[in-house]
A = this chain, B = another copy of it.
C-alpha cells in the first residue's frame, strides 16, 4: 500500500480529464469528431486520429482545442493543437499545423466534442445491498441504486434511473426514465420527468413557508397540499431548495437549468428553458415565462409574473412584474439603461456635491460674523 505525497507540488496542475476521475474514449478520427459536433468535415485529414481535448495553450498535435472568445484570439497564432473549433472569422489566424473546425457556434460544437471524448458515466444496473427499498416501490429494469439510498413506499423509478448514495426518495415519488439523482438528495411529494439531473444535496418537496398568526403571538402552519412537478431535461444544482406547493403545484419547466444554492418557493412556476444562477431566490407564487434568465443572488418577491426571455441582473431585487424580453437590474430593479443612468448621474452629482462641500468649508471662516 503506497501512500502518495499530498504536497500541492505533486499535483499535476489543470489536468483535463484526470484518469483518477474520468474515463475517456478515443482516439477518434476527425470524421467521427466532426459528425459528433454536427460540423462539416474539413477537406483534409478525415482519418487523422485525435486522442483528446485541451485548452488552446496546452493542446498538442493529437488534441482538439477550442476558442470562442475573440479577446483571447492571440493564442491562436502559437497553439500546437492539431485541430481547433472556432468561428470562420478566426479560422485564418490558425497556424498551418492546426485544422480549423469552423462553426457559427463553437461552444456548442465544443460541448459535443468533449462529450464524445468523455461521455457521462453509463448507468450500472444493480441495487447496492445496503440500500433500503420499500417492498412496494416499483423499480424499472436497469435502475442503479447506490449505497445506503432509501426508496419509499409506492415510489416509481423509470428505466435506467440512477439513485446516488444516501439519496432519500420519499413515498409515492415518481421519477422518469434516465434521471440521475445525486448523493444526499431528498425528494418528496414530487413527480419528475425524464432525464432530470439533481446534484448532491438538493431538497425537493418539503413544506413551503406558510403560516397564519394565531392572534396570541404564535403561528399556525398552513398545510402544504401541493406537489413539485419537474419536467424533462431539467438540471438542478447542489443544495438547491424547492418547496412543494400549498394549493397548486410548484412547477419547473422542461430543460430549465438551476445553479447551486438557489431557493424556489411554493407555487412558483418556471417555464421552459429558464436559467437560474447561483444563490438567486424566487418567492412563493411567482411565475416565470420561457427562457427567463435570473442572474446570481437576484431575488424576486412573491406573486409576480415575469415575461418570457426577460433577464434579471445579478443581485437585482424584483418587486414588480417584468414584461417579455425586458432586462432589469438593481434593487429595486429597473431597466438596465435607467439603472446605469442613475449610477452615472449619482457619480456626477456626488462629485458636484463634494466640490460644493469643499468650497463652503473653505468659505466658512469668512462668513463667520465674529471675524
The interface of chain A, by Cβ under 8 A from chain B, is: 1, 3-4, 6-8, 11, 13-18, 20-22, 53-55, 105, 107-108, 110-112, 114-115, 118, 120, 128, 130, 132, 138, 140, 146-148, 150, 154, 156, 158-159, 164-166, 168, 170-172, 174, 176-177, 182-184, 186, 188-189, 191-194, 199-201, 203, 206-207, 209, 211-215, 217-223, 225-227, 229, 231-233, 235, 237-239, 241, 243, 245, 247-249, 254-255, 257, 259-261, 263, 265, 272-273, 277-279, 281, 283, 290-291, 296-297, 299, 301, 314-315, 317, 319, 331-332, 338, 341-343, 345-350, 353-354
Cα–Cα, bound, A348→B350 (Å): 10
CB <8 Å contact, B150 and A150: no
Does the CB pair A317–B317 fall under 8 Å? no
Docked CA distance A182–B189 (Å): 14
Interface contacts beyond A6-B191, A315-B317: sample of 11 additional A-B pairs, CB < 8 Å, sorted by A: A1-B138, A3-B159, A53-B225, A120-B223, A147-B150, A166-B166, A184-B186, A199-B207, A217-B290, A217-B291, A345-B354
Instruction: Assess the B112–A21 pair: CB atoms within 8 A.
Output: no
Q: Chain B residues near A191 (CB, 8 Å)?
A: 6, 11
Q: Is the interface of A mostly helix, strand, loop or mixed?
A: loop
Give the 10 A-B CB pairs with smallest separation, nearest first: A6-B176, A20-B172, A345-B350, A203-B238, A108-B212, A241-B260, A186-B200, A345-B353, A114-B223, A14-B248
Q: How far is the CA of A125 from the CA of B1 in the complex (A)?
A: 18
B222 engages A111 (CB within 8 Å): yes
Point out the residue from B112, B221, B297, B347 that lies within 8 Å of A299, measured CB to CB: B297
Cβ contact within 8 Å between A14 and B249: yes
**Chain B residue at minimum C-beta to C-beta distance from A346:** B342
Contact B227 A21 (CB under 8 A): yes
- B8 & A231 in contact (Cβ 8 Å cutoff): yes
Contact B11–A158 (Cβ < 8 Å)? no
Cβ A20 vs Cβ B105 within 8 A: no
CB distance from A63 to the nearest CB of B (A): 12
In angstroms, Cα B3 to Cα A356, docked, is 72
**Closest approach, in angstroms, between the C-beta of A315 and any C-beta of chain B?**
5
A17, chain B: closest CB distance, angstroms: 5
Question: With A8-B229, A186-B184, A248-B14 as given contacts, are A281 and B263 in contact (CB-CB < 8 Å)?
Answer: no
Q: Are B227 and A15 in contact (CB under 8 A)?
A: yes
- Chain B residue contacts of A11, Cβ below 8 A: 191, 229
Contact across chains for B279 and A296 when beta carbons are under 8 A apart: no
Question: CB within 8 A of A150: which of B165, B233, B296?
Answer: B165
Q: Is there contact, CB below 8 Å, between B343 and A353?
A: no
Q: Which of B130, B165, B177, B345 contacts A6 (CB 8 A)?
A: B177
A277 to chain B, nearest CB (A): 7
Closest Cβ of chain B: how far from A101's Cβ, in Å?
A: 15
Q: Tell whether, in the assembled complex, residue B273 and residue A261 are in contact, meaning their CB atoms are under 8 Å apart.
A: no
A134 to nearest B CB, angstroms?
9
Q: How far is the CA of A213 from the CA of B128 in the complex (A)?
A: 36
Q: If A218-B233, A299-B279 touch, does A263 touch B263 (CB 8 Å cutoff)?
A: no
In the complex, chain B residues whose CB is within 8 Å of the CB of A347: 338, 342
Q: What would 9 A/B residue contacts be, using CB atoms closer than 8 Å?
A: A16-B247, A105-B215, A111-B211, A168-B184, A200-B206, A211-B257, A217-B272, A219-B257, A341-B353
CA distance in complex: A235, B209 (Å): 10
Minimum distance in angstroms from A216 CB to a CB of chain B: 10
